[in-house]
Structure 1
């Protein structure tokens, strides 16, 4: 991307948090000509909830600016709000309206950081983009492919949300924190530079829904009221009234408002007849799923024969042994050795071989 006669140039995505700040310091120490960039994605100030754990606040941008100043690097804010609205919030709302439960952090990484920001970096002549993700990138001489690997810090590993990265993006991205085995090491590094955010807590919520009330956000965003419908059991018997499909997700037990005399869980949602099916815990377990929009990282072409994998059907799930089979229509069927609980459409399934990401896609059935 850049000019090899001079210092290599790195565009650092700086959120204002300690991770991206430490990543910036490491790139400067490695001799890169660095520029810090905060992507303005969403006006967190518009939300009336507590911003303790939200990101994209004015304070975050000021923290990032302060770190850039201490490092002596230039700092800019890129306004990507329209793209974020379309590619992340829009997709989030559409998925809920289809009865799915999406993970918007995956779309944010896919469409904003590693598409939009990468394109901007290329236009501006930067060699690499850098983020504070806990993951690693390696080049495999045998296959001639760039590989995505788990971060050394198993508790913080973020490879799951990065499965959509392309070969070109992997070739021009660096994750300096991928080799760190603890968050304390990262905080110590930030403190050694005198960064204002060395002890800052991590943002944990979806930035545009910091209070966690997805349904209320979707109603405000769309201006729609979602119709009530029937809770039914697996035989179709009506158990009561639900408050709109967007308020429920597979495996949910709390907040149903149903006195069934025993614990019941959401096991299915049907947009076609606006019903939510409730069942006991046993009905939540299944051994099979199908995924669409599959991105193979470890292979140039989908494998011709079924392969053995460790599959992770949601971010916080443990990997489980499974067999993956690619189909001519681009979908992939994952069959688990043991039944998995509450497999949910709209979530991602990511396949691993040891610490290497084989690929991933969106669960569609």
Structure 2
């Protein structure tokens, strides 16, 4: 196989980093894309309406007309558009993913976000002008992994999984020429992304190939004398009391009976990552971009989160030594956070 390593890395487009920290926001729909751009996103990321992206929900994502309109809207305002092709091709359907790479290239996007090495090889060979980003689904948690993708495919950026401490992120940045993007707000994942098999246990479909943690066709809501129940392919995920907010059922965020402990979040508690207080540290260690999770969320969510993070990043870049996250910023983000609460996640691990 011919690889980028056979020629200078500078031949890959966009390899040289630009100044400042970018804000990368989700666009599950055209209204969400416009909300992100209008409220200060530097970049938006979106997906096609098929299994090539990890948010393959009915009613979300972009057809040909929408992506053309969205790219024009963003580019006219000086913003970038990334296409997430971040699931793994299935043996019998590899052409779907290859066509998606070609579609992205022909539409004029600024980068594609890929997880599968085979798709990177296809992109390098058939669409060499495309800037390549390594998806969080690629599960690269160390600089040796990033070096592999850089040497073979010339990736310009990598999105790190949400399991690394601040010290570990800094160590990765110190040893790689690849731009590093980290999640700054949104739902957490208990697994290293790209390695989860919980959904396939219950439904026979994995998010890494089908694009959703809980396929809508497997989700059922049932009213019972004990309360409203959510089930995934018949597996009881949670039971809610009258008036209690009910989240979309995923195995990792269900409540279960384990031993003597009854009805508690045995795997992961619903909460959102919020890095407002860590922005100076992330900026200092050289993080290139802050990413917001939530392509499945509403345009109102996108607008609110983008607006707050835009203000916070601008404030931090203007005066990092005296930056302080404002109380009203936290209040606004907690309104749209899972469980209306936030955490620093793995970033804050003092023993590391």
Q: Do the two structures share a fold, i.e. TM-score over 0.5?
A: no
Query: Which structure would you say has the larger Rg?
Result: 1
Return the structure number with greater helix share.
Answer: 2
Normalising by structure 1, report the TM-score. Answer: 0.28
Structure possessing the higher relative contact order (Cα contacts under 8 Å, 6 or more residues apart): 2
